[in-house]
């Protein structure tokens, strides 16, 4: 790739990143442009993925090699498109029915195994090593089993939650909240690593070899916001308060 294209790519990446971040301040035409570009690029990307990763290797090439069995799923898939023609849209029911059928067939045994059997076996399995367990390990296993039961009580819809049931389900909520807190922290950490990635790119594109793309674009955007607010943009915003 030539240097000119590298620099152009850097400006494009820095510009789109800054335009999307500008939404944190307020909606603006630059964000809209980046949003629509992202939408279009996303659609284009998935179109070529479907075309070259699914249609070509799984339908077109088997047909050319004489494997006509692929016509069955292909026709079922195409039947979904008949939704767009009201007169024959009933054909799509065959495709939908097949999808729902195999989806349920795959999901039900797996769910039963993972949501029921594994839960029970996982809770009682540690107690098979009772002779070698330390008091702390026993306590830990009891907390896990007790937590499972309390959380299940919270999600029990057949009885009104009052009295003892309410107390048990409240303990379940504490277990849930501890989990959610841990999950929140974990996910936020992961998101920060994505943010650092964008900042790292902006830093890279702020170098002289990219003609200070990040700084120039950032200054230009700030200048736009200042000018826009002086030229009546703020008034328009005030006329349409959020609530």
By C-alpha distance, which of 229, 223, 237 is closest to 18?
Answer: 223
Quick note: the x/- pattern for another protein over 34-53, rule CB under 8 A, is: xx--xx-xxx-xx-------
List for the chain the helix, strand, coil content (%; round to 5): 85, 0, 15
Neighbours of 11 (CB within 10 A): 17
Q: Which is nearer to another protein, 30 or 210 (CB)?
A: 30
Under 8 Å between Cβ of 79 and 87: no
- 105: contact with another protein by CB under 8 A: no
Among 51, 72, 183, 222, binds another protein (CB under 8 A): 183
Among 75, 99, 137, 219, binds another protein (CB under 8 A): 99
- 114: contact with another protein by CB under 8 A: yes
Residue 183 corresponds to which tokens in the numbers above? Answer: 């999950």
Under 8 Å between Cβ of 216 and 16: no
Nearest-approach distance from CB 13 to another protein, in angstroms: 15
DSSP H helical ranges for the chain: 3-21, 29-49, 61-64, 71-79, 92-111, 118-124, 135-154, 164-204, 213-230, 233-239
Q: How far apart are CA 206 and CA 220, in angstroms?
A: 14
- 174: contact with another protein by CB under 8 A: no
Among 64, 136, 208, 242, binds another protein (CB under 8 A): 242
Under 8 Å between Cβ of 209 and 17: no
- 107: contact with another protein by CB under 8 A: yes
Nearest-approach distance from CB 142 to another protein, in angstroms: 8
Give me the residues that bind another protein (CB under 8 A), please.
20, 23, 27, 31-32, 34-35, 38-39, 41-43, 45-46, 80, 83, 92, 96, 99-100, 103, 107-109, 112-121, 123-125, 127-131, 142, 145, 148-149, 152-153, 155-161, 176, 179-181, 183-184, 186-187, 191, 240, 242-243
């Amino acid at each position: 790739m030539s240097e000119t294209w590298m620099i152009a790519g850097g400006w494009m990446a820095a510009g789109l990143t800054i335009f999307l971040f500008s939404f944190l301040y307020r909606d603006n035409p630059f964000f809209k442009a980046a949003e629509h570009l992202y939408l279009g690029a996303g659609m284009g990307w998935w179109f070529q993925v479907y075309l070259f990763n699914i249609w070509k290797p799984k339908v077109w090439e088997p047909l050319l090699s004489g494997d006509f069995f692929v016509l069955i799923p292909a026709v079922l898939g195409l039947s979904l498109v008949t939704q767009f023609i009201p007169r024959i849209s009933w054909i799509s029911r065959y495709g939908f029915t097949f999808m729902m059928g195999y989806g349920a067939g795959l999901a039900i045994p797996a769910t039963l195994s993972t949501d029921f059997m594994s839960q029970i076996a996982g809770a009682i399995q540690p107690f098979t090593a009772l002779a070698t367990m330390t008091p702390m390990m026993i306590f830990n296993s009891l907390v896990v089993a007790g937590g499972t039961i309390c959380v299940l009580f919270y999600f029990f819809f057949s009885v009104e939650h009052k009295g003892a049931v309410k107390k048990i389900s409240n303990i379940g909520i504490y277990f849930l909240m501890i989990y959610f807190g841990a999950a929140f922290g974990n996910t936020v950490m992961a998101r920060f690593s994505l943010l650092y990635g964008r900042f790292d790119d902006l830093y890279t594109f702020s170098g002289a070899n990219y003609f200070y793309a990040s700084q120039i674009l950032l200054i230009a955007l700030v200048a736009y916001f200042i000018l826009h607010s002086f030229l009546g943009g703020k008034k328009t915003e005030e006329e349409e308060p959020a609530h």
